[in-house]
Structure 1
């Protein structure tokens, strides 16, 4: 039985590759829908579309490219793959053919055929009103990031594929690498609205890589709301920077029986700024405030202690949706104001925002915004699409290179 099964991919390489590619693409999309997006009901129409893409393009078209076409262009490819490593190293013609296959696959096939087909499929599946010109514009905008992300993963994999895999195993190798990467990426990325299709694709795009190293924090856990039996204080301090400021503040709080649950400290030029959320038994609150104000070593910080109550930022008391917004563009006046106004116009509350200046391409100044935003309004897909559309418009108005939006819905 095992002997017969082993012969299937050798005797029927095209059918075997089609089946593997179809299953892989379908399984990747199911993984994203159930694990990453947390859907209770599977979108079988979407899954069927990606399974079709895997069947006809990944299994069929790529087989035609990797096996018959490359087999004719590089007639010694199969024999080179079967040689032991020692003989491969000595085979100059074989190594040249190997590099030629990798070059054609990664620098001709993918930029000119694979990506356009993928973006076309995505446009047909994701858009209510498909527009091929819009698809081409999107690919042109993402091309640099897309190819950089693709090559990091697939150039090494392609070398292994063309150097060691027999002809019948080329498509299964590609499918296996693609499935493994999609699974890893899905686990790292979390839920995504503006680039959700990146997770469903057979490869990661540049938009995916922009935030791939970041995790999705729990946006709905506010430390002020944690324990109603305790008093909560917002303690801030700002003044000339000195070594030990943080240590002295933290020690004073600890000695008074307080607990720092959330804090941020930063040095801006010669100035030091500290912000802490402290929980403490109500009867010890006055003692802590007195110790902070009477500590001579903290006088230069102008300590301010304010009592906190359960969150009352306007009408925001129970957030049900959280957004992480990441924007990058060449620095110009008014960028933060425009982004903050777009958020406020949606009746959403900014929980945290950080900005910085970086050196971008051609040594230009890039302005970077990272904002965490929440809303109490239940949002359906149409609402989310509207938010994305507004930020796409903002991207054009501010000439931003990157606008990434990740969303987390509180079920």
Structure 2
């Protein structure tokens, strides 16, 4: 079996996921996992599929043919998962919205060798003042040699500079 990672983007419309799923199934592909969302009228997703080696070329051609229906699909071969040992940590962050929060947090994570496994962000009005509040939820992969205390200290120092509240907890 070949494992493919697909990135999909299209104007949001009813039946879009069904069309993609039908295309995959018609070419003996198996939908394994996905993350999808609608944002600002666009639909975007990333998914992993398995397909028998002999059906890969036809599946890729069919997926790319969806462009005629306004569905752009980028196909990448899935590599083997790294065998690094790491610890899963959940990061929650909230603070007044301002440019650069994601940049500053991800710069620190990168400097510490931490991989960002998933990230969800949103800006919503504060309950009492209606000021825009930035919210982030991230799943982090800490390298085995990095102490959680060190990450906590580094993030707390940055949180003070950014004027945000953050919380770290081990992910089950």
Is this a same-fold pair by TM over 0.5? yes
Q: What secondary structure does 2:70 align onto?
A: helix
- Please give the per-residue CA displacement for 1:122-168, whole angstroms capped at 9, x wherever unaligned: xxxxxxxxxxxxxxxxxxxxxxxxxxxxxxxxxxxxxxxxxxxxxxx
Matched, 1:348 2:114: yes
Contact 2:21–2:31 under 8 Å retained in 1: yes
Higher relative contact order (CA 8 A, sep 6+): 2
Matches within 5 A, 1:141-220: none
Q: What secondary structure does 1:392 align onto?
A: helix
Contact 1:293–1:299 under 8 Å retained in 2: no
Unaligned runs of 5+ in 1: 1-229
Matches within 5 A, 1:109-120: none
Taking the aligned partners of 1:259 and 1:368, their CA distance within structure 2 comes to: 34
Query: Which residue of structure 1 aligns with residue 21 of structure 2?
Result: 250
Matches within 5 A, 1:8-407: 230-295=1-66, 299-311=69-81, 317-361=83-127, 362-379=129-146, 383-400=147-164, 402-407=165-170
Q: Which structure is higher in helix share?
A: 1
Q: Which structure is higher in strand share?
A: 2
- TM-score by length of structure 1 reads 0.40
Q: After TM superposition, give the deviation of residue 289 of structure 1 in Å.
A: 0.9
Please identify runs of 4+ aligned residues in structure 1 that moved more than 2 A: 293-296, 375-379
Taking the aligned partners of 1:251 and 1:352, their CA distance within structure 2 comes to: 27
State the superposition RMSD in angstroms.
Answer: 1.8
Taking the aligned partners of 2:142 and 2:83, their CA distance within structure 1 comes to: 9
- Please give the per-residue CA displacement for 1:275-310, whole angstroms capped at 9, x wherever unaligned: 1111122222112112212347x6311222111111
- Please give the per-residue CA displacement for 1:19-71, whole angstroms capped at 9, x wherever unaligned: xxxxxxxxxxxxxxxxxxxxxxxxxxxxxxxxxxxxxxxxxxxxxxxxxxxxx
Larger radius of gyration: 1
